[in-house]
Chain A
Amino acid sequence: MMRLPALVAIGLMLTAVSAARAQVEPPRTLATAPSLNYFGLPGLIDTPTAAAMPDGVLGLTLGHFSDQSRITLAFQVLPRVTATLRYAIVGGGFTLGGSQPDQDYYYDRSFDIHWRAIDEGGWWPAVAIGIRDIVGTGLYGSEYIVATRHFGARDQLAVTAGVGWGRLVQRDPAGQPFGTRPPIDSGQGGSVDFDQFFRGDAAVFGGLEWQATDRLRLQVEYSSDLYLEEQADGLLSIDSPFNIGATYRAGRNGTLALHYLYGNTIGLSYSLVLDPNRPAANTLVVAAPNPVAPRTARREAYSTGWTAQPDGPVILRDNVARLMQEDGLELVGLSLDAHRAVLRIRNTGFQFESMALGRALRILSITMPHSVELFEVVFVVEGMDVSRVRIARGDVEALEHAPDGADEVFARAGIEDARRVRDPGLIEIAEPGERLSWGLAPYVETVLFDPSAPVRGDLGLRAEARYAFGSGFVAEGEIRVRMLGNLDESQQVDGPVNSPTAPYPVRTDAYLYNRESDARIERLTFSHYGRPGPNLYSRMTLGYLERMYAGLSTELLWRPVDSRLGIGLEVNHVWQRDFDGGFGLRDYSVTMGHLSAYYDLGEDYRAQLDIGRYLAGDLGATLSLERVFDNGWRVGAFATLTDVSFEDFGEGSFDKGITLEIPVGSIAGQATRRTLGTTLRPLLRDGGATLNVEGRLNALVSDYHGTRLEDTRGMVWR
């Protein structure tokens, strides 16, 4: 996984790629492709509507007006539920609550939920309920109930009216339908302010949106938000409750918006909407594979004389190896007898695992002598035999062109633990296991929300090398040399926690590593991967595991190929590394690790529960939920609670965040297993912090287990 901390970089890259593609578009109406407002949620300009994005869609919105910038990532978690994570950067010496500014920018990170409770139907409008800034410090804290009704043959006109609480009530309160609102206990943030929601004064807001042309939309709204805190610090003045705006869809996924706000201000925003259900994945352009070579039908048995041919193994190996190279696969080994062939492959290129399977089966049909009736493909990952797919040669021949060929392959094939049966031993060919790979490339590193600069970054050069040998041994390392940038001026992003019992700064010290190293050893490890028993996988990694920690990491995973459940145990002992990125270690060390349960919830959802000890020695548990699309896109959320008290944790109260992983293949249109991944945390703290180590087993092996192979079956004959 390539770590790319800058969410924005992913967004830009996607725009560039998507703009280059022409696709057939489903109709976009106000109802099916709602506009995103300054809060990055379905809405008009600065107020919400009751719309929802299509299921699974991601929306990235960048908005700016009056010294306030907001970056929002919205995800349509379920057909009716939208969740967002927002970063706001407020300049102009703004502080919450009128205290003296102690930094150049005020940062606010907030999390919202928008639930479309009632769908539009008949004369009924759609109705949505939303809570903004559920767990934050309350700058954007507000709640609303909003109704939207579309008019026109193609839903060209949308009329919205709503009732708001919290900051949406600053203008003309209209009474307190659900009782008084208690004062904000801003304190540490991070806890859900249940007693606040929908309490206190309520006010009305609303507006109209009109789809003028295919690309142009016009909005007018009445906002009940008076920006009292922002006005107090002189960021803007509110001359009018009316906002007007126009949005223009630029390219396939992007929308530009220009607004005239609050009677005196111009605002700009850009939103990028990505639909994992309709990525460029379908345009994955990979050369046509070698076709199946069927045998000529005959009545008597095929000759097995070839098994005695002295140069037979060499010829077979050369043919298989050549075709595999053409098709983008790596040969690990081949073993066969007169009737059965086992091909061991390493899939380094295909993000859709079944694509590697389909190509391997076709190569077997081209190369294997006719008496071989049974084909088996074993997927090898880091030297571990993971899964074995078995299918009759006649089925491969019969299904290549069949309309139901993709489904039928998996209906007829058996998938099992590669270790369950012995391989035929008549002819055994093993490729040498040594593989050296290396690379030299530039890197970009960014840090967002440094107290004195919203974005800091470095540009540098990284060199990496990896040597795999024996059965499952890997030695690898990466060195980074900084060329230019300003990360060496970094400051602690989220400030120190003023508590004598606060945890050791296991992660908040990260900025010191940027300040004190120009060149560094990013990683330098020696690992072993193995199969200690049926359904069992093991990993041992020793060395400089990540930028901040070095030590030993061990892992054991139990995961049958056809099981929804996997159980893992990870135990690590690590020392904190010196800030200069060299070989030195600091005094801090910890033994930590987790017992983990991985569970496939069905549909696209997966859950993971980790219970154990974290980097700061705190005890607790992490629950992660992830939506894994069949095309490899992953969007997830996690939360960790440990015995570090909310006070000692500091602002944010507990660790939580959103994870996003995008297969490079789906945006670059090429076959590659690389992914772009990022973890977004509202705040990086020391409680509930985990170790970053490469090669965690569940991610490595579950790609080749039954569920994933079948989920990607559509690509088997591609």
Chain B
Amino acid sequence: MALIPILRRVLAAGLSLALAACGTGRDDPLVSTGQGLAAFLGRGATATEAPAFTAATVPPELVARLPGPLMLVEVPGREASTGMTRVGRNGDIDTWRGPNGIGLTLDETGVLRSTRGLGFDLMASGAGPTSAAVAARRAGPVQREMVHLDGEARPVRRVYACEITRDGADTVTIAGRATPLVRMTERCTGADGYGFENAYWIDRGGRAIHSRQWISAEIGSFRITILRD
């Protein structure tokens, strides 16, 4: 399985447009991972003229031109975004990777399970109950577990009590097209009182194709849109 050549092709095919918007410039993004991320999280598109793509503004022609599964990841509040392709599947968990060396894993429902390449990564999560509730569009309480690293790089596992609510129909513009979805919200609180909130927009197949999901206290949340599976 040659993953990198696939990614390279994808990039060459046009995501470099989106990348320029992320601030990585003309560098080979697979080489300049470190700087790429700093630019991605640090300055974002504010350093460049072109605004970053959002789920609404990503051009459908660009999506059509790129092969294979495709995802757009936005950093809310930072005007930065990046495209990602799927590079692996293990069980019901897909691994996606962007050109900055950033990786995400999502389960079949679209619930975020882990991140890589961000520094303060979400190392893993036990989110089976959340995933089942979201897929069934079922409100109610769930428990989820999230694993981060402390300053000594030791895994810290935290259990969160979450309440999932169904907010009703919501139309989201994805790649210029109004898409009718159902919005659900997951509000979680940890034992230390620290909390976060995720939002999922679910399609008819029970899949959250658009979402805003929390990663870590330091990174915050990402907005994730599956453009094509």
Identify the A interface with B (CB < 8 A): 22-24, 275-279, 281-294, 322, 326, 352, 366, 397, 400-407, 629-631, 669-670, 712-715, 717-718
Contact = CB atoms under 8 A, between A and B. Distances in A.
Contact of B151 (A282, A366, A407): A282
A630 B154 contact: yes
Contact of A287 (B91, B101, B113, B121): B101
Interface string B64-82: 0000000000000000000
Contact of B90 (A24, A401, A407, A629): A401
A277 B152 contact: yes
Contact of A718 (B38, B97, B101, B121): B121
B191 interface: no
Contacts of A22: 218
B47 to A, nearest CB: 15
B189 interface: no
B120 A283 contact: yes
A22 B102 CA distance: 19
Contact of B113 (A352, A401, A629): A401
A366 B1 contact: yes
B88 A291 contact: yes
23 contacts: A277-B151, A278-B151, A279-B151, A281-B153, A282-B119, A282-B153, A284-B119, A285-B37, A285-B119, A286-B117, A287-B101, A288-B102, A291-B103, A294-B89, A397-B90, A401-B91, A404-B157, A406-B147, A630-B152, A713-B154, A714-B154, A717-B124, A718-B123
Given A279-B151, A283-B119, 11 more contacts: A282-B150, A285-B117, A292-B90, A293-B88, A293-B90, A294-B89, A404-B157, A406-B123, A714-B123, A715-B149, A718-B123
B101 A405 contact: no
A276 B152 CA distance: 7
A292 B34 CA distance: 23
B153 A714 contact: yes
A403 B119 contact: no
Contacts of A289: 103, 116
B161 interface: no
B105 interface: yes
A469 B116 CA distance: 36
B217 A24 contact: yes
A284 B37 CA distance: 11
A294 B92 CA distance: 11
Contacts of A279: 151
B151 A281 contact: yes
B27 to A, nearest CB: 13
B229 to A, nearest CB: 17
A285 B38 contact: yes
A631 B34 contact: no
Contacts of A397: 90
B108 interface: no
A75 B33 CA distance: 35
Identify the interface centre among B34, B90, B217: most chain A CB within 10 Å of its CB. Answer: B90
Interface string B104-125: 0100000001101111110111
Contacts of B95: 288, 291
B139 interface: no
A715 to B, nearest CB: 5
Contacts of B178: none
Contacts of A402: 124
A629 B151 CA distance: 10
B116 A288 contact: yes
Given A285-B33, A290-B3, A291-B87, A276 B121 contact: no
A409 B95 CA distance: 20
Nearest to B87: A291
A75 B60 CA distance: 58
A572 B4 CA distance: 50
Interface string B124-141: 111000000000000000
Nearest to B115: A288
Contacts of B97: 288
Interface in B37-57: 37-38
B155 interface: yes
Contacts of B163: none
B105 A401 contact: yes
A397 B91 CA distance: 9
A453 B41 CA distance: 45
A713 B155 contact: yes
Contacts of A294: 89-91
A30 B52 CA distance: 43
A412 B37 CA distance: 34
Contact of A285 (B3, B4, B118, B147): B118
Contacts of B113: 401
Contacts of A285: 33-34, 37-38, 101, 117-119
Contacts of B117: 285-288
A366 B1 CA distance: 7
A403 B124 contact: yes
Nearest to B30: A287
B203 interface: no
Contacts of A352: 153
Nearest to B119: A283
Which 10 A-B residue pairs are closest in the complex by CB-CB distance? A288-B103, A287-B101, A283-B119, A291-B88, A288-B116, A278-B151, A291-B95, A630-B152, A287-B33, A403-B126
B157 A403 contact: yes
Identify the interface centre among A22, A278, A400: most chain B CB within 10 Å of its CB. Answer: A400
Contacts of A712: 153
A401 B114 contact: yes
A290 B4 CA distance: 9
Interface in B201-229: 217-218
A67 B145 CA distance: 57
A326 B4 CA distance: 8
Nearest to B3: A290
Identify the interface centre among B87, B103, B150, B153: most chain A CB within 10 Å of its CB. Answer: B153
A326 B97 CA distance: 14
Contacts of B101: 285-288
B93 interface: yes
A283 B103 CA distance: 15
A715 B153 contact: yes
Contacts of A275: 151
A365 to B, nearest CB: 9
A716 to B, nearest CB: 9
A326 B31 CA distance: 9
A292 B151 contact: no
Contacts of B93: 401
Nearest to A397: B90
B127 to A, nearest CB: 9
Contacts of A287: 30, 33, 101, 116-117
A22 B119 CA distance: 12
A23 B218 contact: yes
A410 to B, nearest CB: 11
A282 B155 contact: no
Interface in B144-195: 145, 147, 149-155, 157
A407 B155 contact: yes
Given A285-B38, A403-B126, A714 B151 contact: no
A670 B103 CA distance: 17
A288 B33 CA distance: 9
Contacts of A292: 88, 90
Contacts of A403: 124-126, 145, 147, 157
Nearest to B88: A291
Contacts of B145: 403
Contact of B149 (A24, A282, A326, A669): A282
Nearest to A351: B153
A400 B99 CA distance: 22
Contact of B155 (A23, A290, A291, A714): A714
A250 B23 CA distance: 29
B97 to A, nearest CB: 6
Nearest to A279: B151
Contacts of B114: 401
Interface in B1-17: 1-4
